[in-house]
A and B are shown apart, each in its own frame.
Chain A
């Protein structure tokens, strides 16, 4: 396998975790709710997936079970932050602590076992013959296609091309105005926070069923936090969120390939690459094009609970 193919192949595989979690976060933040529980949701998703494939040999079932558990936790979080209007940051941190703690407790009986079933590679005819990208993107497992092709396009269409998407964004920008226009603010928030949480848990399932096929305590290793950061970097848009996940995966892979090839750069610098890259990519476009500030701006009501009587 040549250098570029190997590089892209691991980048797609590793970036998928971040991309899927970031997509979930985009949904929640677009309706105005910061969900810092991504890390905990990913841990819950990861252990749910492993527990499921230990019982039944169908990885898809494991993935769906993780989505369901994520949705369940998402509902609890949404109930607290949307209906009860509790502080979103604190609830998110509580969700992370609870999720990682619960996952490691449940995980005790599952650690030290390889996953019994994993998502196998599916080669897409013709496309997998393409140079470089063919092997890297089109001979991966089904979740990779879902994360990089189907979901971002679907979500982009939903958010920016439909009436419903406009309503959804209005809820995140100005809930009072949306409310006045007859949009059910709390119901929309509740639904999309739940959906976003399900995707975050799905990212955990992807981790244990497709990337590192086993459970071990701490397997998420802070990727949930990086996903939250990537959403800001991606300007709260689904396609850039996925691309930034891929970019992050690519830069990380570059660090490893650099070490493997013995490039004359200190390993510490190569390990810093993803973070240096992120900083550069956030700062440069904003400095270069004034317009980017508006495009990259956060939803105006992000993090604020909505009280109908306080306008």
Chain B
């Protein structure tokens, strides 16, 4: 045995190398063994354990709250479930791996990661082939891992149409988090909607480097309004800039849930998300033994939508925006060429329709969006 008290640097390196080899070997073996697995065996409801890992607190009135509503729907649909585990505030770090490993060791049959933890989750996925994993906003499919997300760009476009009608200055403001695909897609769809009404509209973004920082969002909202924006939109898990908009008398649209009580006069609408049906469906499939890893984008009308229009939104604006909504639900895509990027280069040729994958991985800004660079 190696004596730890007199361990030399070389001894330590040898030991680590041996350890690494020991870890690598079984992982390689196991992957070859499970390559053919397509579905997982059925589980009786009384024996099933379902796990949910959230990025924030379930009281956030936003993203995590919506997923928690999905969990409650699952509990209601399957009242006999042995256990539903829920962990809040799972950080984007090795702690996430630990959390999901804990789910597995508690006997989870199905695990939802409601805010992509990427490789930290995949570590666990590879080692627990008997557990079904679903990663929200994931990008990878494995034998026992699928992903799901929302086609939020459609309701965002509809809200953009309303913004085009409501904004007097044509200057729209956006409180962004990070330059990631969800944000590019959201800003682009919003401005394209507004430009369909007012071709001179522009969108100014401010990135606050967080999904949740009421203080920064408040400051960002104030700076945008000071700079002439009279319609604020953003992708935040709280109501910071809506309260600013209410105070300063400009319009605002939100994300996640109906939070019009924070600014009843300013509230226009929200990108409303609803995972209830999807979660019940997925858990049902897992119990029946018919679950297989899938890639799901919840479409407008079934999982994501615009909210009931705000009290002060004129009826004709609501009607015009809803007409566009009906057109999209009917199969029309507003994301059809020609689309130029912010440098003026044509990125999508005339009449070419952007695919869902292209929209989901959008990483450039359309003409008229400023402040967001990848």
Contacts and interface: CB of A to CB of B under 8 A. Distances in A.
A261 B60 contact: no
Contacts of A268: 207, 209
Contacts of B226: 1, 3, 6-7, 257, 260
Interface string B190-231: 000000000000001111111011111011101110110100
B220 A114 contact: no
Interface string A245-267: 00000001100110111100011
Contact of A253 (B61, B208, B219, B239): B219
Given A111-B60, A212-B215, A257-B226, 16 more contacts: A3-B226, A104-B57, A112-B59, A113-B261, A211-B215, A214-B214, A216-B60, A219-B215, A256-B208, A259-B204, A260-B223, A260-B227, A261-B227, A267-B179, A267-B209, A268-B207
Interface in A1-31: 1, 3, 6-7, 9-10, 14, 17
Interface string A261-303: 1100011100100000000000000000000000000000000
**What size tier do the contact residues of chain A reach?**
35 or more
Nearest to B222: A10
Contacts of A55: none
A6 B220 CA distance: 11
Contacts of B205: 259
B291 to A, nearest CB: 33
A85 interface: no
A266 B179 CA distance: 11
Nearest to B257: A112
A221 B173 contact: no
B155 interface: no
Given A218-B212, A253-B219, A108 B227 contact: no
Interface string B279-310: 00000000000000000000000000000000
* Chain A interface SS verdict (over half): helix
B79 to A, nearest CB: 24
B362 interface: no
Given A219-B215, A257-B223, A262-B371, A214 B206 contact: no
Contacts of A113: 261
Contact of B223 (A107, A219, A221, A253): A253
10 contacts: A1-B226, A7-B226, A114-B239, A214-B239, A216-B214, A223-B215, A252-B219, A260-B206, A260-B229, A262-B204
A112 B213 contact: no
B370 interface: yes
A172 interface: no
A207 interface: yes
A217 interface: yes
A211 B60 CA distance: 18
Given A218-B212, A259-B205, A267-B371, A14 B60 contact: no
A107 B59 CA distance: 9
B267 to A, nearest CB: 12
Contacts of B61: 111-112, 216
Contacts of B102: none
A213 interface: yes
B343 to A, nearest CB: 13
A217 B60 contact: yes
B93 interface: no
B240 interface: yes
Of A113, A261, A267, A271, most B-chain CB atoms within 10 Å: A267
Interface in B333-374: 370-373
B163 interface: no
Contact of A10 (B206, B219, B370): B219
Contacts of B371: 259-260, 262, 267
A212 B243 contact: yes
Contacts of A10: 219, 222-223
B254 interface: no
B262 interface: yes
Nearest to A216: B238
A118 to B, nearest CB: 10
A214 B247 CA distance: 14
A87 B40 CA distance: 53
Given A112-B259, A218-B212, A6 B57 contact: no
Contacts of A261: 227
B171 to A, nearest CB: 10
Contacts of A216: 59-61, 212, 214, 238
Contacts of A256: 206, 208, 216, 219-220, 222-223
Contacts of A207: 215
B240 A212 contact: yes
Contacts of B261: 113-114
What 3 pairs across the A-B complex have the smallest Cβ distances? A6-B226, A256-B223, A112-B61
Nearest to B88: A217
Contacts of A213: 243
Nearest to B221: A256
Interface string B227-246: 10100000000111001000
A108 B59 contact: yes
Contact of B373 (A9, A112, A217, A266): A266
